[in-house]
Amino acid sequence: MSCLYIVPTPIGNLKDITIRSIELLNQVDLILAEDTRTTSHLLKQYNISTPLRSYHQYNEHKITKSIVKEMLEANKSFALVSDAGTPAISDPGFLLIREGLKQGLEIITLPGPTAFVPALLQSGFPCDTFIFEGFLPHKKGRQKKIIEFSQEKRTIVLYESPHRIEKLLKELEQHLEKDRKISISRELTKKFEETTTGTIHELQLKYNSKKPKGEFVVVIEGKK
Ligand code: SAM
């Protein structure tokens, strides 16, 4: 039976992969990878020699339908991985899953690494209910989102690139209360992993004196 496995991969520390993920990546006929070079590096660590094919944001619209059809007709199993973390979480994957379901493909998603969960927990903000917004739009709709955050009672989780962290803090300063707490987790699972929690002003002081570098998850406390 043809099956698509959605396989999370490490977000930094290569040891953060499950035994089941390694077994499946070994067993499937094909691995669709966001960047075949990045995935080759991971596969080499675990002596996996399954063939790879590129599947990324620039070709997903074009090839999704035909890949699903091809794998179903050949009765083959395949896996989807992204460069880091869980596919489809701010990464390609949604189109493939939707098309697979449409064409009657069996889909099994493995649990595993994703950046927003450790960042949410490390913040110490309520995590019984929260919203995940991924990357904010760069221009259109960005301010509207931030104004919505000013009224949001649940904890808010965002992904942000290092060169926009200072801009984001400035925007949050304009629209959120002065005592609203923010938690920034950087380089999770890596050598220079750190989480800093404080008011917007405290975080601005930190990042004005030290240029933000690496990968960041921003967690915003909900409105009290
Ligand atoms: N699919 C991934 C996941 O499950 O988390 C997210 C991919 S998205 C393209 C990349 C963003 O995830 C980064 O810009 C950063 O916001 C966040 N991220 C990924 N790895 C991270 C890490 N080790 N530490 C902090 N943030 C990370």
Sequence-distant (6+) residues with CB within 8 A of 147 are 175
Average pLDDT over every residue of 164-168 = 96
- % of the chain beyond a pLDDT of 90: 97
> Is there a contact between 114 and 85 (Cβ–Cβ < 8 Å)?
yes
Q: Ligand 1: distance of its center to the CA of 221 in Å?
A: 20
* Structure confidence at residue 210 (pLDDT): 82
Q: Whose CA is nearest to atom 11 of ligand 1?
A: 159
- By CB neighbour count within 10 A (0-12 exposed, 13-18 middle, 19+ buried), where does 156 fall? buried
Measure CA 145 to chain center: 19
Confidence of residue 96 (pLDDT cuts 50, 70, 90): very high
> Is there a contact between 128 and 25 (Cβ–Cβ < 8 Å)?
no
Q: Ligand 1: distance of its center to the CA of 215 in Å?
A: 6
Order of strands across the sheet with 3-6?
52-54, 30-33, 78-81, 3-6, 106-109
Q: Ligand 1: distance of its center to the CA of 75 in Å?
A: 33
Q: Ligand 1: distance of its center to the CA of 47 in Å?
A: 25
Mean pLDDT of the chain: 97
Q: Which residue in 196, 206, 148, 141 sits closest to 172, CA to CA?
A: 148
Q: Whose CA is nearest to atom 13 of ligand 1?
A: 215
* Structure confidence at residue 211 (pLDDT): 86
List, in order of start, the domains of the chain with CATH numbers: 3-109 (3.40.1010.10), 116-220 (3.30.950.10)
For residue range 43-71, what is the model confidence (pLDDT) as tens digits? 999 999 999 999 999 999 999 999 999 99
Q: Ligand 1: distance of its center to the CA of 111 in Å?
A: 16
Nearest-atom number in ligand 1 for the CA of 158 is: 16
Q: Which residue in 183, 193, 190, 192 sits closest to 217, CA to CA?
A: 183
Ligand 1, CB within 6 Å, residue ranges: 11-12, 82, 84-86, 89-91, 114-116, 159-161, 185, 187-190, 215-217
pLDDT of 118 > 90? The answer is yes
* Structure confidence at residue 37 (pLDDT): 97
> Is there a contact between 203 and 196 (Cβ–Cβ < 8 Å)?
yes
